């Protein structure tokens, strides 16, 4: 059974032919958009999905993750006549910086969006701090969708395997666990090298994204979302 996620794009910041990494998660009757980079709004508009989004999760503030967020908010407010869109953001620092960016771009942010923690929106949606694990100056967050004994993790950009994946007690809570982890096929200080994820493949159902799959080495064992979970 495929996980309840569809990727709008799955490339890294410079793999534009694959689009900015972003996904729609269908969970407990809601549709969540994760990230909204500069290629995302046009794709949502093309697929007529703008009005279907119930809330947006933001992993961090690089342009390939928030570059068309303001356009999405403007569209929903002025064209779709919808109420402010919940923006679910883990951590006060990430919330404050996102608010500052949107305030400079849009003015009165509250007209267009409600910035809140994931738990305020839905107690079954939680976040884990990944701050400084992608870039030393940058707050960031991973998001976990839970339901009974099922969970889905979306890491955002992180330079090493998400530490939670090494917590056997936490892993044992779930009989079904989907993990979507950023992947790099060369060693870098900002993204997770593919070989470091291989040990987790026997523990969870894991897919890679934020990469160009045509550059994957022959010994890569990680399923890539580009071939089975793209819109």
Query: Residue 72 sits in a domain of what CATH number?
Result: 3.60.15.10
Q: Is the pTM of this model over 0.95?
A: yes
What are the residues whose beta carbons fall under 8 Å from the beta carbon of 205, sequence distance 6 or more? 3, 176, 177, 178, 179
Find the domain containing 10 and state its range. 5-227
Q: Tell me the CA distances in angstroms from 67 to 8, 21, 70, 73, one per residue in order.
A: 14, 12, 8, 12
Number of domain units in the chain? 1
Rounded Cα–Cα distance for residues 186 and 146 (Å): 32
Q: What is the pLDDT, as a whole number, of residue 5? A: 98
Number of Cβ within a 10 Å radius of residue 186: 9
Rounded distance between C-alpha atoms, residue 72 and residue 45, angstroms: 9
Residue 1 clears pLDDT 80, i.e. is over it: no
Percentage of the chain beyond pLDDT 90 is 97
Q: Residue 30 and residue 47: Cα distance in Å, rounded?
A: 18
Reported as a pLDDT band with limits 50, 70 and 90, residue 165 is very high
């Amino acid at each position: 059974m495929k996980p309840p996620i569809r990727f709008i794009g799955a490339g890294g910041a410079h793999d534009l032919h694959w689009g900015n990494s972003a996904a729609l998660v269908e969970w407990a009757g809601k549709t969540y958009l994760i990230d909204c980079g500069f290629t995302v709004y046009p794709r949502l508009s093309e697929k007529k999905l703008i009005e279907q989004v119930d809330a947006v999760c933001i992993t961090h503030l690089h342009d390939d993750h928030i570059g068309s967020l303001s356009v999405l908010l403007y569209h929903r407010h002025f064209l779709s006549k919808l109420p402010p869109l919940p923006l679910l953001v883990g951590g006060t620092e990430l919330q404050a910086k996102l608010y500052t960016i949107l305030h400079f771009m849009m003015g009165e942010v509250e007209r267009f969006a409600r910035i809140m923690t994931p738990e305020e929106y839905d107690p079954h949606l939680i976040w884990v701090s990944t701050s400084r694990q992608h870039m030393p100056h940058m707050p960031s967050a991973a998001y976990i969708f839970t339901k009974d004994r099922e969970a889905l993790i979306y890491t955002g950009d992180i330079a090493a395997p998400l530490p939670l994946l090494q917590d056997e007690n936490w892993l044992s809570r779930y009989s079904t666990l989907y993990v979507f982890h950023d992947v790099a096929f060369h060693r870098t200080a900002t993204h997770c090298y593919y070989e470091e994820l291989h040990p987790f493949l026997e523990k969870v159902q894991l897919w890679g994204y934020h990469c160009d799959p045509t550059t994957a080495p022959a010994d890569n064992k990680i399923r890539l979302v580009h071939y089975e979970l793209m819109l």
